[in-house]
Structure 1
């Protein structure tokens, strides 16, 4: 059979990704990537350490990064991203810049980190005051706040889970609960930290409810990497990706939040087996009508019309 008419495969643009050994959300990264871009992932070597500042330092050592980038360069990516938030903020802004320099020296390819991409995204949105959500312990969350402060970003509120393992098992419901607690004192944006924390489906819903841009670690990493090669990240109605969304609900910071919304798929992830509850530093809140699984079951996601003014208040 003559298949010469096919003329393919179509050329692919390559993005290299260095992830920690326990990274479990490869599929989430791909959801922001257009069809003509391929992600080439490699992982840092396993170390028997739970999520902590020590682990962040171990998975971001320059020698580890150099070896990972050299392996990726075999498939000639156009840019390399280090996809770990804590590993790229643990050394402060100077440490983050040094990591990029080490990767670029090793592979002779433009390189970035998740924490550097976060600062780039905040600048893109003009956000100087942010609320922060993390799955980390208090000490790791403190380190993120210090990193942002060093970059001139004020943290107006924060919420964290205190986890040291299996962060990828956290359900969307917990992310939503933390977000609501963190957004005090009218921040310019909300940042959900950790590339191992699922966030893709929850971002547009939180933007509609909280009336502010919502950024996540995986989102800013892919957005920044694609930007370096002249490509746009894809995703449903997110302020960072879509200028129309910036003029829609995400810009309505003066309006009070509407009733709580849990996105489709929230129950799909299930409860985090063996995952401890929120940090004791978080104040318990009374139950809100409509947040029980029965109320969320069968809920329709909000439409995202071309005219953002037509979006119903959630």
Structure 2
């Protein structure tokens, strides 16, 4: 959230006139486990309230797996509740979850079948796969990198991702989810993965950026953001 989304917006600023500021409030989490994710999600109301003090135009909530691990369709519940916190604070703003943004981004691309790379342990990755499937998108192949420490997720070498994706059945997919996690970096290889696979490639960060720009009623475009941020959609 605090690295690749600002990076995409800064890239957009090189080709469009709008300028942006970024503000963050953090939820505590060290180990990517279901219990810690649930506890972390419980802090989201506090964060939405704190951020709305700054009268922001849009709020983005990432962690994708924290939302998806709370049960099918939870991103809609979360977005509605957190928006209500901003209303109560006198500064109403739309709230985008990375979970909802990824689902919506895949649907914008018209993707019916996808392959997914996720940093999570296998049981959490299976929750993510099930969540996406219940939203009407078939996950035909996936890989769980099984990185338990949240800091290590952020340190994962994104240059490994194209080789990892080569091992998936991407040929049968409509799109490739290079990173189903805003924490795991992938932005530097989005274009390379599209060239390798011949498919649209997106990440949770790319999808969240797209959704936030749409919420701001701005052109959803950013260099290096792949097909979804190419300006076509």
Provide TM-score, normalisation by structure 2: 0.87
Q: Which residue of 2 aligns with 1:214?
A: 201
Distance 1:243 1:75, change over 3 A: closer
Whole-angstrom CA distance in 1 between matches of 2:156 and 2:135? 29
Q: Which residue of 1 aligns with 2:176?
A: 190
Structure 2 unaligned blocks of 5 or more: 14-18, 88-92
Provide TM-score, normalisation by structure 1: 0.65
Q: Which residue of 1 aligns with 2:77?
A: 98
Whole-angstrom CA distance in 2 between matches of 1:237 and 1:87? 24
**Corresponding position: 1:38 with 2:13:** no
- With a CA cutoff of 8 Å and minimum separation of 6, indicate the structure with the bigger relative contact order: 2
Structure 1 unaligned blocks of 5 or more: 1-24, 247-314
Paired residues in the alignment total 217
3-state DSSP of counterpart to 1:76: coil
> Which of the numbers 48, 52, 64 marks the counterpart of 2:33?
52
More helix by share: 2
* Deviations 1:191-236 (CA, angstroms, capped at 9, x unpaired): 1211111111100110011000111011111111111001234122
Give the RMSD, CA atoms, in angstroms. Answer: 1.7
What is the correspondence of 1:197-276 to structure 2 with a 5 Å cutoff? Answer: 197-231=184-218, 232-236=220-224, 238-243=226-231
Contact 2:159 2:189 in 1 (8 A): no
* Deviations 1:138-171 (CA, angstroms, capped at 9, x unpaired): 0011000110111011101011211101111111
3-state DSSP of counterpart to 1:107: helix
Whole-angstrom CA distance in 2 between matches of 1:233 and 1:74? 28
3-state DSSP of counterpart to 2:117: strand
